Every structure is written in structure tokens, then in C-alpha cells.
Amino acid sequence: MMNRDHHENRKKSQNQSPIWPVRKSNGEWRLTVDYRGLNEVTPPMSAAVPDMLELQYELESKAAKWYATIDIANAFFSIPLAAECRPQFAFTWRGVQYTWNRLPQGWKHSPTICHGVIQSALEKGEAPEHLQYIDDIIVWGNSAEEVSEKGKKIIQILLQAGFTIKRSKVKGPAQEIQFSGIRWHDGQRQIPMDVINKIAAMSPPTNKKETQAVWVSGECTFRITV
């Protein structure tokens, strides 16, 4: 359940976050650390991930015919965590205290940092035109060949930067594709039917906060202005 490449023993940290194991669909277990307490006392960052709605508008304006998506495998764990930052992420498992040596999931700034590191790598490698949302990337074009070449270039840049790309996480070139929970075809966006069904089956929100953010399968947020 614990990958030794991503954590290290820790005996002196006064910080301690609770954990709970989560059973995955394949029967294996995933270690989850509850960083809500740490998140409450963590100062804000000026940087932020792009607004998903703005990304959708931009992609829609391209009126593309072909698409391809790239989902970086274990992107957070591809980013080393500075030694001086590690004690604050400590947790205990079976009587032994550990902390992460890679960017952990559950910390509120991990998505922002991950997005920035990937963005910098793509800019440094002079990646072809694309859109990025944290560890998800989409390219587009007027032909399958054009999109394929763009995708290969971006994958090469990411591999050289130390990220891992699984072939199963690369989709396309295709004329219809899904990117961050939205299905795209011929320059138009559509909410997948399974997502619509899940939303329809949910209990009505009882307050403004619940109305503003509806989480679907832990992957996609649909924001409603109230």
C-alpha cells in the first residue's frame, strides 16, 4: 500500500495528520492522508490553476476537427519535495512515523504546484499549441497527422522532464474525445450522458456552497454562479 520511493521514515516531526486506507476497485489498498488540518493553517499562494470554464471557452474557439489528450501518470509523485518541507506532511502507519519525499496528494497547494512545474517544462521545451489543466493536456488540429505529431512532441518533452506517460493514458487522435469530464466533437462541448445521469440522481443542494460546486466522480466540477 505504501510505495517506498515516495515516502521516508520520520522520527522527529511534531506534525501529525490522520490517515485512512481506501480500498480500490481492484481490491488493492491506497493510503490516503487527511491534510484538512494542515490546509487550514497553510498560507495562500498567488498562483492558481486555470479556470476550467475559461479553458472550455478557449478550446471551443479553436473549432478543431481532431483531438488528442495526454494524462501524466502519478504527476504529483514525479515532483520532489524539498527536505525542509517534508516534516509538515508527517503521518504514522503501524507505529512508525513517515513523511513524503514527493509532492503529496490532499495538500491544497499540490495541484497548483504540479500545474506550474508541468507548464514550465512545456514552455522550456517549446511545446506546440495545447491546453493544460494540472496533469491533463489536450492538443487539436485539422488532421489526425497534425494532432499525432503535436502529441508526440509534448510526450517527448514531458519524458525528458522526468514525467511518466502510460500509453493507456494517451487518447487519440480522434474526432471525439473527453477532456476533464467534457466530451468534445467538431469544436463543440457536451456533458457525457453518464455524468448527466449522476447529476440527476443526486440529492438537491441545501445551501449556496453545495450549489456552487457539484463534484462528479471526484473528477469534474461544474460551477454554477449564484
The pLDDT assigned to 220 comes to 45
Are residues 128 and 53 part of one domain?
A: yes
- Domain total in the chain: 2
Are residues 142 and 216 part of one domain?
A: no
Q: How far is CA 35 from CA 32, 39, 91, 93, 172, in A?
A: 9, 6, 10, 15, 36
Are residues 195 and 123 part of one domain?
A: no
Q: Tell me: the pLDDT tens digits for 49-63?
A: 889 889 999 999 998
The answer to whether residue 42 sits within a structural domain is yes
Low-confidence ranges of the chain (pLDDT < 50): 1-2, 215-226
Are residues 177 and 79 part of one domain?
A: yes
The pLDDT assigned to 225 comes to 38
CATH number reported for the structural domain that contains residue 42 in this entry: 3.30.70.270
91-98: long-range contacts at Cβ-Cβ below 8 A with a sequence spacing of 24 or more? 91/16, 91/17, 91/18, 91/19, 91/33, 92/16, 92/19, 93/2, 93/19, 93/31, 96/9, 97/9, 97/10, 97/11, 97/13, 97/16, 98/2, 98/7, 98/8, 98/9, 98/10
Question: Which residues does residue 73 pair with via DSSP β-bridges, in sequence order?
Answer: 164
Are residues 34 and 61 part of one domain?
A: yes
Are residues 98 and 88 part of one domain?
A: yes
The pLDDT assigned to 10 comes to 54
Are residues 170 and 79 part of one domain?
A: yes
Q: Tell me: the pLDDT tens digits for 199-220?
A: 777 777 777 666 655 543 444 4
Are residues 79 and 150 part of one domain?
A: yes
Answer whether 125's CB lies under 8 Å from 134's CB.
no
Q: Quote the distance between the C-alpha of residue 67 and its chain's center.
A: 19
Are residues 163 and 222 part of one domain?
A: no
The three three-digit cell numbers of residue 220, written as one number: 469534474
Q: Which domain holds residue 17?
A: 7-190
**Distance (Å, rounded) from C-alpha 6 to C-alpha 130?**
30
The answer to whether residue 101 sits within a structural domain is yes
Are residues 196 and 181 part of one domain?
A: no
The answer to whether residue 1 sits within a structural domain is no
Are residues 179 and 199 part of one domain?
A: no
> What's the whole-model pTM score?
0.79
